[in-house]
Amino acid sequence: MKTQKTRAPIIMQHELTSRCNNKCGFCYNPERCLSVFTPRETDKQRNISVAKKSIEKGIMAVCLTGGEPLLMGEHFFEIMKIYKQNGCYVSINSNGRLITKDVAKRLADEGLKSALISIHGTEDLHNFMVGDSAFQETINGIKNLIEVGIHVVPNFVTTAKNVYGLKDVGDLMLSLGIKLMTSTPFLPSWGAESHKEFLLYTEHYKKYFESINYIRDLGIKIDSTLPIPACVLIKMFPDDWKNFLEVLSPRVCMAGKSFGVVSPDGHFRSCIQAPYLEKFGGNVIDAYDDSWKNANKWAEMKLIPEECQKCKALDVCGGGCRTGCMWDNKGSVSGSTMYMGKALTKEEAKYFLKRAEVITPIKNGKIFKFKSEIKFRDEGWGVIIFNPNFQSFTVVKEIFNFKERSFTASAKLINVLVSMGAVEEVEDNNYLKLDSEVLPCGTLLPRLGKNLIDNEKVYCLRADTGERYYF
């Protein structure tokens, strides 16, 4: 199976600045956590050029981030307008402190769809974690966004210093009416010596998993966001690892394929949490194609150890996090990752593989149309179909003239499109037969889904950055 390169990210994070009004000691941003990086002055014209170039190359969704993106004031809205006017789905990643009622209203008026807001504890703990008296401003920001109808997803970065406060945050979010939140297990950055004190060990992970179960029992959907390999559970909890199956979200790394990040200096990084690595990036404005081709290398099979390549759960793991690999391998992205255990047997792996299967009714013989918000991008070797509202996508062999037409198709293709929310059933006697097919996962992601090829089933892999890949 030949693996193909994408010509641009589907979803991109655009870091507008490295400046921030919080002082989080666990921050992943390389310009804030690594002493070898010196925060650069923000170049507004460069941000504009990055936005225009990204639209030209075909990105379909963007998350504006930083640092703290709203520190950019009017320039933030200027960049947001460029993306919105070109039909791009826009979200933000913010600490929420600057989101007053007026700012929230303007964000809604300008078409902001969703906001990921950082919250790392209740009042005293949060303030301790971010190094400032920021809690009330963040809570006000969340409330203001909810009031104007913007979808808010609070994100709790779990570290050794605040894991005990996750349950309390769940209680707080429930009181605010939050139905969905995320929790990101702390990932140390290579070269950031201060990150050692935030590392998670077995006792922390157990508390973390227990807290996620507690929050789910409150009625809040909470997911773990990092691509933590399945072998972590068996290594940490050899006797009762099955008890934590539902806690460990089956997230995978799609960096360099469906996702990429552009730093404030206009350079591609494959991974949001990795520092700039020339081998896996480059200048977006001057050499976009070569830079993104480099970023695609992040997904190569040769980066993971032989032990991973033998693992029966590799299809839904991909060998773990390459940025996490850097911590254990002196800055190299090739090799084992932190926390990694032994390769899973076929019997062990079946529990994890099952979680990638999507239960969906057979829709063969029905007539459908694509929803108006669905986006398409022709890669030459296949067509990406993207639903921005659910951050879901699939890749099909061809699509031709079906964007505006009613159609029917094979049960496999229809069930994939229904699962990702891309189509709606209609009554129409003037329909066409769509003969295209869903391309295998390995066409896009060489470390994932190689053996998930049952034509009677629909599979879904969810990236740590949020997108869902259906095949």
Alpha helices in 25-159 (DSSP H): 30-33, 44-57, 74-85, 101-109, 123-130, 135-147
- Poorest-confidence range of 149-158, 199-208, 229-238? 229-238
Query: How far, in Å, CA of 239 to CA of 237, rounded?
Result: 6
Residue 38 has pLDDT above 60, yes or no: no
Residue 369 has pLDDT above 80, yes or no: yes
Instruction: Give the model's confidence band at 32: pLDDT under 50 very low, under 70 low, under 90 confident, else very high.
Output: low
Query: How far, in Å, CA of 269 to CA of 231, rounded?
Result: 27
Asked if 88 and 62 touch (Cβ cutoff 8 Å), the reply is yes
426-448 pLDDT, tens digit per residue, is 999 999 998 899 999 999 999 99
CATH topology of domain 11-301: TIM Barrel (3.20.20)
78-113 pLDDT, tens digit per residue, is 999 999 999 999 999 999 999 999 999 999 999 998
Residue 337 has a pLDDT of 83
Would you say the pTM of this structure is higher than 0.85? yes
Asked if 122 and 165 touch (Cβ cutoff 8 Å), the reply is yes
Sign of CA dihedral 53, 59, 61, 65: negative
217-270 pLDDT, tens digit per residue, is 999 999 877 777 888 889 888 998 888 887 776 789 999 999 999 999 899 999
Q: Where are the domains of the chain?
A: 11-301, 359-470
DSSP 8-state assignment for residue 415: H
